[in-house]
Amino acid sequence: MSTETNNLRGPTSALNPPDDSAFMRAALKEAISAYEKGEVPVGAVVVHEGRIIGRGHNLRETLNDPTAHAEMLAMTAASEARGQWRLDECTLYVTLEPCPMCAGAIVNGRVKRVVYGASDPKAGACGTLFNLVQDARLNHRAELEAGVLGEEAGELLKSFFRECREGTIARRGGKDPE
């Protein structure tokens, strides 16, 4: 199924439609909200017909919940807004490459398209360690776009971990490596 994995574009792609950057900006704003709470800064929005219908940022420490990733919260909000769990006409924008849990939820929610910013060499499940959202063995595949405002998303994460090390900000939940 090589045709399905080939549409993963690199960070230098000049083909990002302008809307992608605009919605990624909204996801970055969510990530900053997480940052301000001492949470690892990851943000997400779900877009349906050009409109944001769900937002979320990482709240794992605040909610004491291992599933409280930005994507999960944004997808739950979007499903509520749509009145259905199927998000097959929606695009998920997230600042960091989704982990296996979130990639699983993307498949289960039949999300049409996923756009992410920075790649995650430690947990990325949309092309880096795994590509769960385009695995032909599963019952759904999403279109994938990588590297949209990836540098900004990555800088935000780097700056957060730097500040944690320097003790400038109090990271909630201690300092287990991400």
Q: How many helices (H) and strands (E) does the chain have?
A: 6, 5
Main-chain phi, psi angles of 31, to 5 degrees: -60, -40
Is 71 annotated as catalytic? Answer: yes
Give the number of other CB atoms < 10 A from CB of residue 14: 5
Shortest approach of Zn ion to residue 15 CB, angstroms?
A: 26
Shortest approach of Zn ion to residue 69 CB, angstroms?
A: 4
Catalytic residue of the set 30, 39, 71, 145: 71
Name every residue whose Cβ is closer than 8 Å to that of residue 67 and which is 6 or more positions away in sequence: 101
Nearer Cβ to Zn ion, position 72 or 148? 72
Nearer Cβ to Zn ion, position 19 or 65? 65
Q: Does 102 bind Zn ion (CB under 5 A)?
A: yes
Please give the full DSSP string across 141-168, using - where no structure is assigned. Answer: --EEEE-TTHHHHHHHHHHHHHHHHHTS
Q: Does 99 bind Zn ion (CB under 5 A)?
A: yes
Q: What residues between 60 and 89 interact with Zn ion by CB under 5 A?
A: 69
Nearer Cβ to Zn ion, position 166 or 176? 176
| Residue whose entry in the numeric block shows the structure tokens 């991400």 | 178
Positions marked active-site? 71
* Interacting residues toward Zn ion by CB under 5 A: 69, 99, 101-102
